[in-house]
Amino acid sequence: MKKSGLTLFAVCSTLLCVRVGYTQSDHGRAAAGSARSVEREADTGSPHPGEGCPFDTQRLPATGQTTAYVAGDDGDIRAGAALRYRDNHDGTITDENTHLVWEKKDQAGGLHDWNATYPWEGKCSNDAASECGTDADCKGGGACTPAGGAPLTIFQWVAQLNEQKFAGHGDWRIPNIKELQSIVDYETFLPPVDAAFNSHCASGCTVDGANATQECSCTQSAGSSNGYYWSGSTYAPSLIASPNGPMLAWGVLFGDGDVLSAGKDDHDYVRAVRCGVVRAELHERAPEP
């Protein structure tokens, strides 16, 4: 499979694959950017849920597979909590196992449009060597310019959801890779998700049925990005990855549920999440000289 200069090699273990074979000429990169260090304040409090989010025990979801092919396989054992989702009819879906609240996608052409793609990162206008997610990553007043001429990075996109207080909240974020994979239903494919994430999807439908539109919930399994959705998780430095690991980020291919990585300047789909257990405060520390 070839996608935006990323070739899928057979570098896999169970559900983890890496799209490698990406060359510098594909996106004009010369070297891996310097990683920013994110520092959590010393234990000033326990992890806690987001505003208005439950804090009872989070359950590990099952894979959704219920077909048994041999005795003792996943479809026979069915380990984990059965997949359970609640459509809140405000543009969001609650996972009743993880308590994560997910953004729905639609076909209305706005911030929730299922066809919209964004790069993971951009470059600072005043320092082309500095990678950024938003303007806050650029020192000295520089602006974060999304890669490949895109209107927004995924972090600028989710910031707009928060500015608009989507569904009444301003704490939306990009899911980590484990959170994103948790909504995959391995009993099905194209897309491998529960009907809560893929129903009544038609041109002009919206996530909440506002203004007498049809309410829908959409998940891309093909399209310009082959159904690949970003997570906020960066690929670790690795000898098997080319380019260097930190130039890649993890995502899920919502065609069949593969977990794989892509170059951060690739343009891919994204779905926001909120709630879950999070740290009280994060403090960024500038890279040391």
pLDDT of 243 reads 75
Closest C-alpha among 106, 108, 83, 110 to residue 96: 83
pLDDT of 44 reads 43
End-to-end C-alpha distance for the chain, whole angstroms: 40
Residue located via tokens 């052409």? 109
Please report, in tens digits, the pLDDT of each residue of the chain (289 residues total).
324 333 333 333 333 344 333 333 333 333 333 344 343 333 444 566 677 787 677 789 999 999 999 999 999 999 999 999 999 999 999 999 999 999 999 999 999 999 999 999 999 999 988 899 999 999 888 999 999 999 999 999 999 999 999 999 999 999 999 999 999 999 999 999 999 999 999 999 999 999 999 999 999 999 999 999 999 999 998 877 777 778 999 999 999 999 999 999 999 999 999 998 877 653 333 333 3
pLDDT of 92 reads 98
- Tokens linked to 288: 């040391």
pLDDT of 48 reads 65
Query: In this structure, which long-range contacts are made by residues 127-130, counting pairs with CB atoms below 8 Å and at least 24 apart in sequence?
Result: 129/33, 129/34, 130/33, 130/34
pLDDT of 136 reads 95
pLDDT of 284 reads 35
pTM over 0.85: no
Q: How far from chain centre, in Å, is Cα 88?
A: 21
Q: How far apart are CA 214 and CA 272, in angstroms?
A: 21
pLDDT of 280 reads 62
Q: How far apart are CA 102 and CA 180, in angstroms?
A: 10
pLDDT of 12 reads 35
